[in-house]
Chain A
Amino acid sequence: MGSYSVFALVKNAFSHHAGWERAWRDAAPKAEYDVVIIGAGGHGLATAYYLAKEHGITNVAVIEKGWLGGGNTGRNTTIIRSNYLWDESAALYEKSLQLYEGLSQDLNYNIMFSQRGVLNLAHNLSDVREAQRRTNALRLNGIDSEWLDAEGVREFCPILDISRTARYPVLGGTLQRRGGTARHDAVAWGLARAASARGVDIIQNCEVTGIRRAGGKVVGVETAKGFIGAKKVGIVTAGHSSVLAQMAGFRLPIESHPLQALVSEPVKPVIDCVVMSNAVHVYVSQSDKGELVIGAGIDTFTGYGQRGSFHMIEHQMGALLELFPVFSRLRMLRQWGGIVDVCPDASPIISKTPVDNLFINCGWGTGGFKATPGSGFVFAHTIATGEPHPLNAPFALDRFTTGHLIDEHGAAAVAH
């Protein structure tokens, strides 16, 4: 595979860019693979990539019902941070953040990871208490996090309205400077390209319709393109996880909800960081194209329709203008929804399953984009060795029976 660089660009310019190779091969399915990954979202692709890179397992197929990256990976608002409250989560998300820090170079694909800082606002005394608790926990976990008072918040993000007369005045906020955003499609494409280069087959437009088992063990998957044998199978289908689990005969403690987002028409740089507010319920950042990228909480109903309710949009606009009165005359350009897989404790499941050699990675809900490389890294380990990596051991399916939940609701009330 040709390497990407400015030199390659210049060289190709002379041949009218006729010489670029395909970013990934569109493979036809083989009869059997060592590992089949279901779902070519970021997490599935990262799993395949790290299987090949870290474990030398390259006889791998990633099977996708639509186009790769077309699920939540291509629909999210791309916020990346690791400032989670509990030790287990902080360790997992921090691993992911560290992988993100070198991902462009590792993949030789610019995923535009931009550590512009993530600011979480506190609007009441209880927010302040929570924020300080988290900042202290993160500091002792060795993860960067700062508490800013209202004036510090204004300095960091000058267009925020911190006036005391606001309905919910800003009392301060926590800042993770290493947090930020990345280009979501590029993450999927870069992973697909790098995995494909290492021999992974990416099979698009191929829905998995059944999971074949024999003697309590998985033996392959039924797909739109016929049966594909597999020694091991990993399910990484986000909003559709319960559907796949049902195919394999077990149930998940997951609810699938719509989550919506929207962008404005592009304008010149006006906000240089990510601002999130639980209390007024909105978050915003500005993409490199200049669009304000805005989101809030999930729709309360469940379903697979990828369509949310309009009142969610109205409500988050009220919240947005409360924080940023100057945005009132900007306009909403596009809105859309994805289906997020929400766990009762707002933490993921990266785990073995009741079926031998069948593994599952799901439950990332509203906040899994930031975990993409970390999740793939530990899931690849889990599949390759048959046992969880220490980082994902706490995130097993059995925690819902033992009660050892990792309740990140505080972290995830508006979680992205």
Chain B
Amino acid sequence: MAEFRNSSGGRIDRARPLTFRFNGKRYQGFSGDTLASALLANGVHLVGRSFKYHRPRGIVTAGAEEPNALVQLETGGYFEPNLRATQVELYDGLTASSQNAWPSVDFDIGAINGFFSKLFVAGFYYKTFMHPRSFWMRVYEPIIRRAAAGARAPSEADPDTYDKMHAHCDVLVAGAGPAGLMAALEAAKAGARVIVADEQAEFGGSLLGETSGIDGIPAAQWVEKMRADLAAFPEVRLLPRTTVTGYYDHNYLIMAERKTDHLGRGMGGVRQRLWKVRAKRVVLATGAHERPLVFADNDRPGIMLAGAARAYVNRYGVKPGNTGVVFTNNDSAYEAAIDLAKTGCRIEAIIDVRPQATGAMAQKARAAGLRIICGAAIAGVEGAKRVKAVEIAPLSSDGETVGGPVKRIECDFVAVSGGWTPAVHLLSQSGGKLRFDEAKACFVPNVSVQAETSAGACNGTLFLEGALEEGAKAGRAAVEAVGLMPAQESALPKVETVEAAPIHALWIVPGKKPVGHGKAKHFVDAQNDVTAADIMLASREGYRSVEHLKRYTTTGMGTDQGKTSNVNALAILSRTLSSPIPSVGTTTFRPPYTPVTYGTLAGRDVGELSDVARVTPMHGWHVARGAVFEDVGQWKRPWYYPKDGESLREAVNRECLAVRNGVGILDASTLGKIDIQGPDAAEFLNRVYTNAWSKLGIGRCRYGIMCKEDGMVFDDGVTTRLGENHFLMTTTTGNAAAVLDRLEDYLQTEWPDLKVYLTSVTEHWATASIAGPKARELVGELAPDLDLSNDAFPFMSMKEATVAGLAARIYRISFTGELSYEINVPAYQGMALWEAIFAAGETHGLTPYGTETMHVLRAEKGFIIVGQETDGTVTPFDLGMDWIVSTKKPDFVGKRSFSRPDTARTDRKQLVGLLTEDPEEVLPEGAQITADADGTPPMPMLGHVTSSYWSATLGRSIAMALIADGGNRQDTTVHAPLGVKTLACKVVKPVFFDSEGARLNG
């Protein structure tokens, strides 16, 4: 058995030994250990080096508040930095190492920083590293960056899975110590839906390290009985290893559950889970954290909090050392002294800063044979990697100095208590307010703003009897508040209570020299190496708001968020400023209470699930045909279909010519489709589109442009009248959701009087768009009963017909400039339709084409693409589409803005066509256009190229651009300076092919 492990006692299972490695050495612990308790059992106190000075550091606490004992765990994909050894449950084969030490924690080169510690005071980096200027980036900062942070970063992807759960409950109890358990049981007995969450592996909180009894049985047994009672209620959910990390508005709380970490790595299943809880009431029973005393060299390994020392010996059967000294300003450390002495540690003395020790606890300690030295303090510590001895000196009556004979006591550990800080984090996150309780020397909850109650130690009630009572009361009040009847009141569990003598706040323990002089350091925030002298310096320099203090000194900004240090820091600030603690105030408590892995926060939304990939019913066919896809919004769209090693350009040339000369087919299913119904549907369209809709005949289609209030183009598409009060609107693929949002917004907030109902039907329909001079022939074969003549089925109309045996809607509309039919069938029939079309199309040389070809064909015709020819700053007039803006309608969205002076300017950027002087040169899209061929930056720009392609049909390049006063620049030459060369181009009308529209009407 390891040297410091007692042969009995504690909650570990001595029958289940576990082997682990720390810094390359093999050790043994037991099931039930944390990494910290197992290390201490093996006599390992030195576990890390500090952030700035690389001072040797040991384990200080036994829980979430640990500032020092940070380790990195495992390797490869399972590597994880910055874990608190005090919270890592031991498993067989665990591998951990120290952080911030090189080459080893025992011999750390970085400790050289200690020699410069007089320079490395708070904020020193703001005062130097400024000259020469270029050195900041090249020399100083790289050194600082490399020196900062203890942990390595992971370098491999995480093999684990995470997930999320939503839950509702009547009462959420955060913390399963005595107060939480009582509250939960009262709530459960009333029939409430209860969730109890506790960050530890076992319920019980402080009782897990308690030796006294409750109701005549040992505390641990009482906890087990409570747990079993709770588990028997069907509406109670018990969640150990679950930290309530955040408290948000409307009683929405976030919890992080660690499901498999305690078993080892690579366990499969879900590793950690994020709980999102909406609770009607919350009982906060999150306990309290002990504070250290701020004395000279209080950071030496072997110096730990008294409560932690007590927990190690009682809960884990581990002695923190052989010979100890207890140093305190309150009674709680006496219990630690008594328990430590009882379990085989030699306690040399209890050093109490209070002038006398006459209370009941002191009597108990004396009765146990312990020596108490009152009115004294630890004035110095010997030992660097492990405490060797402490120097005890009498305190002056004002507590400002030590003097008189110094007594040296050899010891290998010191148990310290500076009082307790209620864990008010969640309360504060909820918006609740605190008040400073002078008598208890701590901040306690004062005002609640959400449906929550604090009970027990987190409410400043630091004795067991009070915690049990408050917990029961909080549970009963919670169920009453949710409208349930509390169960019959039962007697509270009986416990022995020892009257506590008052605490004596001593925020800085004087050393042999004034604070900040000499070699000794009074640490406040051990993780960030912030000393009392730093806090005094900051306040001297005017960083007097606690937020300034925190940021200037970095106190409380470590991974522990200052759980053990914040109150000491602000008390020292208040002392330095001679203003009372309440007027100094606290910093804001930021979520999360303890850090949460990004994996947990992302849950399942990673990899291919990071965003849904939407595909059309014909997707499989495109894949089989070797299509290359393009992401458009969430959709996967075929971009082009390369044949035997064709390049993008070769494939697109072939596809374009096929459409222009024969027949092609495009999967147009991704276009947004909104079904619009209601007696006011036509009026609604009149308001949201710039053109008029009332007179559109049933079965007729019309193209529309939608503007924002500022008159800028927002979306476009064809809308068809299916019935008197029934329209089908199409939107661009990427904008479908945004358009629906906007339309709903108008209907719900601006025009609630309109009777119009919108339904997204984008995914209900599959659309095959057949285009080209041979389109009529092909569609005729597929729909033999349909009269396709121009008279019977003109351009911009819709027919319902049977196509390849399927009931379909056929729209005669065109985005390519060719004769074109868009055949729509219910989505589930999409593939059948597509295959039928291809079966028939074979003989016509039917060619599938993708979005790139579609873009080229429409550009040849000068059709715009919203988001390409427009960017939120372009009006319909700028696009040369004056014809689509009604001058007769009384109003529509954007109308008013057209008369604003800037919007009405005639020299705005306008859409033009561009033809490069050299027809072989294709302008890059996004090229800027200038009036002059040469010049040096900054050069005035006229605008930019919005679309540019090689046109196989025309045998040359074509482009569209938005340029200032474009309308008046027709036939002039402008330039595109590309850096490497400048291309001259002629400004033309943005229609390059079939400007009369003979083909699409044909």
Contacts and interface: CB of A to CB of B under 8 A. Distances in A.
Tell me if chain B binds chain A. yes
Interface of A: 4-6, 8-10, 13, 16-18, 20-26, 66-70, 74, 87, 102, 104-105, 108-116, 123-126, 129-137, 139-142, 159, 167-168, 183, 185-186, 189-190, 204, 264-270, 280, 286, 288-291, 305, 307, 309-310, 313-315, 317-322, 325-336, 344, 399, 401-405, 407, 409-410
B547 A289 contact: no
A185 B551 contact: yes
Contact of A290 (B124, B145, B872): B145
B602 A320 contact: yes
A330 B598 contact: yes
A329 B154 contact: yes
A405 B145 contact: no
B153 A280 contact: no
B595 A114 contact: no
B598 A5 contact: no
Contact of B630 (A108, A125, A330): A125
A267 B130 contact: no
A87 B155 CA distance: 41
A318 B610 contact: yes
B462 interface: no
B206 interface: no
Nearest to B100: A268
A136 B900 contact: no
B127 A5 contact: yes
B157 A328 contact: yes
A20 B541 contact: yes
Nearest to B534: A17
Given A22-B541, A265-B595, A310-B276, A326 B547 contact: no
B926 A135 contact: yes
B547 A109 contact: no
A135 B928 CA distance: 9
B153 A129 contact: no
Contacts of A310: 246, 248, 252, 254, 276
21 contacts: A6-B128, A8-B127, A16-B514, A17-B121, A66-B545, A67-B548, A115-B137, A132-B924, A167-B613, A190-B126, A265-B151, A265-B559, A266-B559, A289-B149, A307-B248, A313-B601, A328-B154, A329-B597, A335-B590, A403-B710, A409-B872
A320 B602 CA distance: 9
Given A137-B941, A332-B598, 19 more contacts: A5-B127, A9-B119, A23-B543, A105-B131, A124-B631, A126-B867, A129-B925, A141-B937, A189-B552, A266-B149, A266-B559, A267-B152, A268-B151, A289-B148, A318-B610, A321-B606, A329-B80, A335-B590, A403-B897
A60 to B, nearest CB: 18
Contacts of A69: 548
A266 B151 contact: yes
A116 B138 CA distance: 11
Nearest to A305: B249
A318 B81 CA distance: 20
Nearest to A308: B248
Given A22-B540, A110-B128, A133 B559 contact: no
A23 B544 CA distance: 11
Contact of B599 (A6, A66, A328): A328
A126 B868 contact: yes
User: Which 9 pairs from chain A and chain B are nearest by CB?
Assistant: A290-B149, A403-B900, A133-B926, A328-B158, A132-B926, A331-B595, A318-B605, A142-B937, A270-B153
A269 B136 CA distance: 16
Contacts of B977: 140
Given A22-B542, A74-B551, A185-B551, A110 B125 contact: yes
Contacts of A317: 598, 601-602
B551 A110 contact: no
Contacts of B939: 140-141
A21 B542 CA distance: 8
A185 B146 CA distance: 22
A327 to B, nearest CB: 5
Contacts of B318: none
Nearest to B429: A307
Contacts of B917: none
Contacts of A334: 561, 590-592
A277 to B, nearest CB: 12
B315 interface: no
A8 B868 CA distance: 58
A16 B517 CA distance: 6
Interface string B581-625: 000000010111001111101110111101101000000000000
B141 interface: yes
B711 A74 contact: no
Contact of A288 (B130, B144, B542, B588): B144
B774 interface: no
Given A267-B81, A326-B155, A17 B537 contact: yes
B133 A326 contact: no
A344 B710 contact: yes
A415 to B, nearest CB: 14
B542 A140 contact: no
Contacts of A114: 136-137, 141
Given A70-B547, A136-B928, A333-B561, A9 B124 contact: yes
Contacts of A137: 928, 941, 944
Given A318-B605, A403-B710, A326 B540 contact: no
B126 A189 contact: yes
B933 to A, nearest CB: 13
Contact of B631 (A168, A266, A399): A168
Interface in B535-582: 537, 540-545, 547-548, 551-552, 554, 557, 559, 561
Contacts of A70: 545, 547
Given A167-B613, A288-B148, A330-B597, A402 B153 contact: no
Give the most central of B144, B149, B540: most A CB within 10 Å: B149
A135 B978 CA distance: 11
A112 B537 contact: no
Contacts of B867: 126
Contacts of B597: 328-332
B644 interface: no
B901 A402 contact: yes
A129 B283 CA distance: 54
A318 to B, nearest CB: 4
B126 A4 contact: yes
B80 to A, nearest CB: 5
Contacts of B606: 318, 321-322, 325, 328
Interface string B147-179: 011111111111010001000000000000000
Contacts of B133: 102, 104-105
B276 A110 contact: no
Nearest to B144: A288
Contact of A204 (B156, B545, B552, B561): B545
Nearest to A196: B542
B902 A123 contact: no
B40 interface: no
B8 interface: no
Contacts of B601: 313-314, 317, 332
Give the most central of A326, A331, A332, A405: most B CB within 10 Å: A331
B126 A267 contact: no
Nearest to B601: A317
Interface in B238-280: 246, 248-249, 252, 254, 274, 276
Nearest to A132: B926
B154 A17 contact: no
B596 A113 contact: no
Given A268-B149, A314-B603, A332-B595, A403 B711 contact: yes
Contacts of B561: 333-334
Contacts of A190: 126
A266 B145 CA distance: 11
Contact of A332 (B548, B592, B925): B592
Contacts of B632: 124, 126
A21 B164 CA distance: 52
